Structure 1
């Protein structure tokens, strides 16, 4: 009976999240309570399960709040603007260079962990350049999506934080094992950008019957004859570069210091970002009103993510405390063929990107991961191995999912269609995900 209630609880949450009938906090908070009542537990017992669950994710929630505030402030003060402007200036006219620059720019802008802000910064900046060079806007979206998704392995981004809350472990510790995979993933993404840029260059030359290299030679290496408006844009970029904030290097050192603290793990991630926010605000904003305004500007994103993590803690606390999760996993293990069980985490990992078309990020990590982790544990597979397999297998497809609000924003900004984006991007990103999974197996991460 516990297994049936657990299954119905998880399925109900998944359906609610897929249908978009309620926000994740509502589904994760209310449905498990109803399930616990049906299983015969009283309100007092459920309250104890809640406390245990919240305690396991509190550090993750605190980290999210201050990480989003910190990187939001860094975006506000223009820390990343010089690099973005320089990459755009250097890559103009060269199809392959534009493709590679797109990956780098997306990676930098994704440092705040927000896909929405990444698309808001990169698409308006790069889309006119793609249009002028007759490059496919779907290539632009693919490269941004892949780069931002790999950067999403950062501990203050969504997926790793969700996974850490499921395991009840420190998010920085979980991320440290993923750092080699993340670095390799970015190298692969740059290689893919080079290959697709070369492919796009050939497509453009064939379609328009001219040599981009020849035009590049005539146009002084720009690859296209720029409109007056584009020259104006270049002048504006130069002007912006000359008027950089005087505290740019101080902010850069501060950001580097905070990231160093995260990698070394000397102090908890939440504490590191709290220190970062406390230093960044008075450095860049002199009055308390200005400092308060910056907090208010980024508070909605910070509190939304923190509330989801806390609600997930409640969900996991109730399912674990009632024994529903153990019961469901145990019963599934008994009906699975013996040869499948030890490899279920790998099977789910290799299918992780297609799962993005069926499940939201919340459903994947809060509903599917706990069940797979319990099943794999029954066959002697370490929880960390299962979690890494599911993160690496799934995360590359974050921004091809129709359940990603940030992707809909990107499609609107670029004037593109969801179906065509999935058709264009899915084979490449799924292939990249599979290669990353194989590499993770080879180097022992999985």
Structure 2
């Protein structure tokens, strides 16, 4: 019964948001409550939901101050030189703009964090997209593909989970993943070119000027003390993030306070800058806390555990020799419906134990388990995707429908690359 409810709840949620019967916010709140009641957990739902909200509270706080910080930096003109450089390089060509988005997403994504990648990339490219008429969904799809590849870096969450669960050396695993990630990055740029070509056929070359793109932005000189301060502060913030010197929410809170004090020193200016970006903040944080309700009920009712056990038991016995390939393919739906913790610490060890009987080692299983990460980013359990949709003001359900085929393409390319370099074997 619980297994049926689990699958039915996920299917119902996806149908409602993709058909636009409900907004993602309402669906995240009401669908799990309805199915929780059907499962006989009505009296326990309050505690489950509160636990889920508490679990995602740090993410909500981090995104609140991250959005305010980077929007403030945009207002202060920090990204103006980057925007001018991009404008000179792309020259109004949608193909170059979309490929440039992919390259910037891959470069900024070196920190392994989707939220900061989305904020910086949208700050740099959003004016160009709006003036040229390129669909914002194209930017969302390209950035999701880019961070889907960069999310496999050692300092990102999934990598450390896979290495820990499989008890393999992090350095050795990373060297195995490098050619696979390179192949994924090449695919992202190729896919971006295809998407850009579609927009080029629709729009042609578009003439835009620096003044048009930077209209409404602060005009600030490179030797201005405030610009230098903002550049140093942002560099220090990203460095501290990569070194994990402090929890992310605290880092962004401190950075926001310092940036606000220097760039908007008066009380009235500070009120105005917060009010100006309040809509973006509220749209994202509401979804984060609603996702906490979804996660809390799935975990508290045992739905996550039920899905994990069921997905493992339905695998046919004769598939053992291809367990690493199967794991790579199954990591797409597994990490879509489950949290990374549930997959890497709950499902992967069982798959690896089965694979060991057929001579497939844990390192190979760790590689296979990471390949499905690009699809994981579309999961309703991933907070940063709500941020991306909020920043670009696009429908969450439309984004799921459009981006899914491209992210599946990334997974398949990385799987072929893994087989090609021998990281995954198909014959034993």
Identify whether the pair has TM-score above 0.5, normalized to the shorter chain: yes
Supply the distance in 1 between the matched residues of 2:285 and 2:92 (Cα, whole angstroms).
43
Per-residue CA distance 1:198-244 (angstroms, 9 max, x = gap):
x99xx99xxxxxxxxxxxxxxxxxxx9x99x96997999xx957588
Query: Displacement, 1:406?
Result: 7.6
Query: Displacement, 1:90?
Result: 5.0
- Tell me the equivalent position of 1:210: none
- Tell me the equivalent position of 1:68: 67
- The CA RMSD over aligned residues, in Å, is 5.5
Over 3 Å counting, the alpha-carbon distance change for 1:306 and 1:184 in structure 2 is farther
Query: Displacement, 1:247?
Result: 1.1
- Tell me the equivalent position of 1:379: 351
Question: What residue ranges of structure 2 are gaps of 5+ in the alignment?
Answer: 110-114, 163-172, 354-361, 380-384
Supply the distance in 2 between the matched residues of 1:247 and 1:186 (Cα, whole angstroms).
38
Supply the distance in 2 between the matched residues of 1:26 and 1:68 (Cα, whole angstroms).
23
CA contact (8 A) 1:51 1:317 kept: yes
Query: Displacement, 1:270?
Result: 0.7
Supply the distance in 2 between the matched residues of 1:21 and 1:332 (Cα, whole angstroms).
29
- Tell me the equivalent position of 1:35: 35
Supply the distance in 2 between the matched residues of 1:181 and 1:232 (Cα, whole angstroms).
42
Per-residue CA distance 1:278-320 (angstroms, 9 max, x = gap):
1111110121121122112222222322222222222222222
Over 3 Å counting, the alpha-carbon distance change for 1:271 and 1:34 in structure 2 is same
Over 3 Å counting, the alpha-carbon distance change for 1:444 and 1:286 in structure 2 is farther
Q: 2:371 aligns with which of 389, 398, 402?
A: 389
- Tell me the equivalent position of 1:12: 12
TM-score normalised over the length of structure 1: 0.62
Q: 2:277 aligns with which of 272, 281, 298?
A: 298
Residues 200-239 of structure 1 mapped to structure 2, 5 A cutoff: none
TM-score normalised over the length of structure 2: 0.64
- Tell me the equivalent position of 2:262: 283
Asked if 1:313 is matched to 2:292, the reply is yes
Query: Displacement, 1:4?
Result: 1.9
Question: What residue ranges of structure 1 are gaps of 5+ in the alignment?
Answer: 128-136, 168-176, 205-223, 356-362, 412-417
Supply the distance in 2 between the matched residues of 1:29 and 1:234 (Cα, whole angstroms).
39
Residues 9-408 of structure 1 mapped to structure 2, 5 A cutoff: 9-43=9-43, 45-89=44-88, 92=91, 101=100, 103-104=102-103, 111=116, 113-114=118-119, 120-124=126-130, 145-147=141-143, 149-151=145-147, 184=182, 188=186, 192=190, 246-338=225-317, 339=319, 343-348=325-330, 365=336, 375-376=347-348, 378-380=350-352, 388-393=370-375
CA contact (8 A) 2:327 2:368 kept: yes
Supply the distance in 2 between the matched residues of 1:248 and 1:96 (Cα, whole angstroms).
31
Over 3 Å counting, the alpha-carbon distance change for 1:97 and 1:185 in structure 2 is same
Query: Displacement, 1:70?
Result: 1.0
